[in-house]
Structure 1
C-alpha cells in the first residue's frame, strides 16, 4: 500500500472487477458506437473517482490494518525536504531556527497592558459595513 508502484497496483485492482461487467454491454445488439458510448459513460466517471479517492482509500486501508496513516506522506515529505535543501543550497539561505520566528511573541509581551487590550478589543468588534448580526458577548 505504500511501496513503489502502490498507486498503479491500486488502479489496476480497482479496474479489474469492472471489466467483466462492462464486457456484458458488448452482448447487447446494436451499433458499436452505441455500445462503446455506454461503456465509456460508466468507465470515465469510475476511473475519475478511483483516481480522485486514491489517497483516501489507501489511508483507510492503512488505518484498518493498524498502520500509521502518515506512511503515505513519507515520500512527499522527503521530496519537500529535498526541494527545500536544493533551494537553500542554490540561493544560500541558512537554515532558520524556531527562535527566529518567535519575535512577534516577544513584541507583544513588551506592549503595555492598555495597548494590548485596545488591540484585542478592536479585533473582536464587527465593522460598521458588515450586515450580519453582532456576536453576543
Structure 2
C-alpha cells in the first residue's frame, strides 16, 4: 500500500512539472514555404558555404537514382557539421547536390550558405547531400 501511495505521489509531481514547461518554443523540422533562411544543423546535417558551378535544367542521377533540382557546387567552407556525418566534404571539393525545393535565383557563380542533410546511397559506400534551405550571399 505504501508503495502505491509513493508511486502516485511521484506521478503527481511529474505531471505538475510538465505543466510548467513553456509551450511557445517550437522547433521546425522543415523549412517554411516563404523562407530560405539557414537553420541549425541536425546530427546528419551540415552547413556549407558553396559556389554554384553548374545548373541542370532536368533531373540528374546521383548514386544511380534520378534526383530533381540538381546542381554541381564547389565547397568554399564548412561552417558547421553534425556529429553523425559519414563523409565530410572538404574545401574545394566539387559535389552534385539535390535541392529539396526548386531553387530560385540560383545561377552559375552565385555564392550561398546552405543547410544540407547527408543521405546514404543504395550501395551504402557513398553519400550525397540534399539542401533543405539556403541563403544567397553574392
Between Structure 1 and Structure 2, the one with more strand by share is 2
Structure having the higher Rg: 1
Please state which band the TM-score falls in when normalised by the shorter chain: under 0.3
Give the alignment's TM-score, normalised by structure 2. 0.20
Structure showing greater relative contact order (alpha-carbon pairs closer than 8 Å, 6 or more residues apart): 2
